[in-house]
Structure 1
């Protein structure tokens, strides 16, 4: 059992706390946000602390961190705060819903895996991977650090998803496909060919658009 601080103080943080409260032995004891977004000192009856001064209230070694859980800046926000937290001496929690069928070979820290997901044998998930409800990750598939898979995603066997990818709901990725880092795949697309890094794929096509996913990083994902 560990005390956990969630990065965020909005809807996703509220959802994460609900899951931890009901299904985890770990205990949520507070929230943290960047100082510029600190508009409240309490959320869900727990303290909200500025990220920049987190050590004053919750020193390393006394808590673990989880999040941020959004895919803001195509997951680079989560990547950056994760790396900074590590550099400041913090460890990270993980959450795997008890209904998940987990036969993965590896699930990294700061992962958040929701209900009814399937992780087949020899799956490898890096750090900071979020998988929403009812998704399937086929055997011998690797999902690299800081990816976000929405609900009802289906990854077939032997797939490789690069770092900081966003995969929308009901996306299917065929056997043996490689999706390059930083790729954005819109909901309901079907991917049948390899995608280069920073691709943007819109439903229903599997060909990337003629522009980089860097264009999407300024969008305010929550």
Structure 2
């Protein structure tokens, strides 16, 4: 059993706690948030420690970290805190629900993968990926670091999803498509062609918006 500190103290951290307590083999011992959000001493009866003071309560070597699990700053917050945690000497856990059909070649650290997801043979999942419920990732596909894939997404075989992508629920991606880094695909889009980095698609077809996904990085989510 590994002791885990979850980054976050909101709804998604609450969901992660519930899953790990019900289905995981590890133990959550606390939470951490950026200091400006450390407005409570406890969350679900466990300590909440400011990120910049985490070593005072939970030193590296005694715990592993998980998160942040939201897509704040278009996954930039998860990427940045992951890199900072590694630089400070922390290791990262992953949670993979026991119902996941896992034939992947590789699943990175700091991943959170929920129930009824299918990872077909020869798939590769990078570090810091959040994959919600009932996602299909086809054989020989690669998911880059720090992506967030919402529920019921279908990614066909031989696809490449670049780092930092945010894919909304029920998106479909055709065979062999490459999606550039930091792309945002809104719910129920159907993607049939390659997209360059920073793309935004908000339509059922794969019509790309004229603006970059940089515009979305200021969005706030729980």
Partner of 1:95: 95
Matched, 1:14 2:26: no
- What is the CA–CA distance in structure 1 between the aligned matches of 2:37 and 2:46, rounded to whole Å? 17
Matching of residues 173-212 of structure 1 within 5 Å: 173-212=173-212
Question: Offset of 1:207 from its aligned partner?
Answer: 1.9
Question: Offset of 1:141 from its aligned partner?
Answer: 0.3
Partner of 2:26: 26
Matching of residues 58-77 of structure 1 within 5 Å: 58-77=58-77
1:65-98 per-residue CA deviation (whole Å, 9 max, x = no partner) reads 0000000010010000000000000000000000
Matching of residues 1-222 of structure 1 within 5 Å: 1-222=1-222
1:124-181 per-residue CA deviation (whole Å, 9 max, x = no partner) reads 0000001000000000000000000000000000000000000000000000000000
RMSD between aligned residues = 0.5
SS at match of 2:6: strand
- What is the CA–CA distance in structure 1 between the aligned matches of 2:219 and 2:94, rounded to whole Å? 27
TM-score, normalising length: structure 1: 0.99
Question: Offset of 1:208 from its aligned partner?
Answer: 1.1
Structure 1 unpaired stretches of 5+ = none
Question: Offset of 1:105 from its aligned partner?
Answer: 0.2
Number of equivalences: 222
Question: Offset of 1:109 from its aligned partner?
Answer: 0.2
- What is the CA–CA distance in structure 1 between the aligned matches of 2:40 and 2:131, rounded to whole Å? 29
SS at match of 2:47: strand
SS at match of 2:55: helix
- What is the CA–CA distance in structure 1 between the aligned matches of 2:12 and 2:128, rounded to whole Å? 15
